[in-house]
Structure 1
Amino acid sequence: MRRDEPGLEVLPARLAGVEGVRVTGDTRLWSGVSTRYGVTVVYAGAFDFWYRGRAWTQTEGVLKLKEPGEVHRDLRVHAPVTAQSMTLEAPVVDEAARELGLRAPPRLPALSVGNGRAAALALHAALREPGSDTLALQGLLAGMLAALLGADSSASAEAVPRARRAALRARDLLHASVVEGVSLEALAMASGLGRFHLLRTFRQEFGLTPHAYLTHLRVSRARELLARGIPAARAALEVGLYDQSQLHRHFVRIVGTSPGAYARAVRGTSTSPKKGAERVPHPRR
Structure 2
Amino acid sequence: MDDWARYWRDPARPVEAMHAHFVRHVFHRHSHDAYSFAVTESGAQRFHARGGAHTSATGMVMAFNPDDPHDGEAAEEFGFTYRIVHIGPEVVREVLADAADGGAGPPAMPLFERPVREDPVLARALLGLHGALVGGGGHLVRDEWLTASVTAMVRRGAARPPRDRLLSPGGQSRAARRARALLEESYALDLPARALAEAAGCSRYALYRAFRAEYGMPPSDFQRQLRLRGARRLLTAGRSAAEAAAETGFADQSHLHRWFVRCFGVTPGTYQRAALSRG
1:69 positional shift: 2.1
1:75 positional shift: 6.3
Aligned pair 1:248/2:245, yes or no?
no
Q: Tell me the residue number matched to 1:128.
A: 134
2:8 maps to which of 7, 11, 15: 11
Deviations 1:81-138 (A, max 9, x none): 22222111101112222333394211234223324221111121232323x1111111
Local SS of the residue matching 1:20: strand
CA 1:11/1:44 → structure 2, altered by over 3 Å: closer, same or farther? Answer: same
Q: Tell me the residue number matched to 1:164.
A: 173
Q: Tell me the residue number matched to 1:280.
A: none
Q: Tell me the residue number matched to 1:112.
A: 117
Letter in 2 for 1:107: L
Q: Tell me the residue number matched to 2:99.
A: 100
Question: 2: distance between equivalents of 1:225 and 1:155?
Answer: 42
Q: Contact 2:74–2:80 (CA<8 Å) still a contact in 1?
A: no
Question: 2: distance between equivalents of 1:137 and 1:87?
Answer: 14
Question: 2: distance between equivalents of 1:14 and 1:26?
Answer: 30
Letter in 1 for 2:194: E
Q: Contact 2:9–2:15 (CA<8 Å) still a contact in 1?
A: no
How many pairs align? 264
1:153 positional shift: 10
1:144 maps to which of 141, 149, 154: 149
1:29 maps to which of 11, 14, 26: 26
1:9 positional shift: 2.1
Q: Tell me the residue number matched to 1:185.
A: 194
Aligned-pair RMSD on alpha carbons? 2.3
Local SS of the residue matching 2:249: coil
**TM-score of the aligned structures, taking structure 2 as reference length:** 0.87
Q: Contact 2:14–2:87 (CA<8 Å) still a contact in 1?
A: yes
Local SS of the residue matching 2:95: helix
CA 1:183/1:176 → structure 2, altered by over 3 Å: closer, same or farther? Answer: same
Question: 2: distance between equivalents of 1:126 and 1:75?
Answer: 27
Q: Tell me the residue number matched to 1:83.
A: 82
Aligned pair 1:41/2:47, yes or no?
no
Deviations 1:180-219 (A, max 9, x none): 2210111111112211111111101111111000000000
Letter in 2 for 1:57: T
**Structure 1, 239-248 or 43-52: larger mean CA deviation:** 43-52
Letter in 1 for 2:82: A
Unaligned runs of 5+ in 1: 273-285
CA 1:180/1:219 → structure 2, altered by over 3 Å: closer, same or farther? Answer: same
1:11 positional shift: 1.6
CA 1:198/1:259 → structure 2, altered by over 3 Å: closer, same or farther? Answer: same
Aligned pairs for 1:213-224 (under 5 A) are 213-224=222-233
Q: Tell me the residue number matched to 1:265.
A: 274
Letter in 2 for 1:138: D
Identity %: 30
Q: Contact 1:98–1:104 (CA<8 Å) still a contact in 2?
A: no
Q: Contact 1:64–1:112 (CA<8 Å) still a contact in 2?
A: yes
Local SS of the residue matching 1:263: helix
Q: Contact 2:10–2:16 (CA<8 Å) still a contact in 1?
A: yes
**Structure 1, 201-210 or 88-97: larger mean CA deviation:** 88-97
Q: Contact 1:173–1:190 (CA<8 Å) still a contact in 2?
A: yes
Which 4+ residue blocks in structure 1 deviate beyond 4 angstroms? Answer: 151-156
CA 1:152/1:105 → structure 2, altered by over 3 Å: closer, same or farther? Answer: closer
Q: Tell me the residue number matched to 1:207.
A: 216
Q: Contact 1:37–1:65 (CA<8 Å) still a contact in 2?
A: yes
Aligned pair 1:235/2:241, yes or no?
no
1:43 positional shift: 1.6
Question: 2: distance between equivalents of 1:59 and 1:171?
Answer: 42
1:76 positional shift: 5.8
1:73 positional shift: 2.3
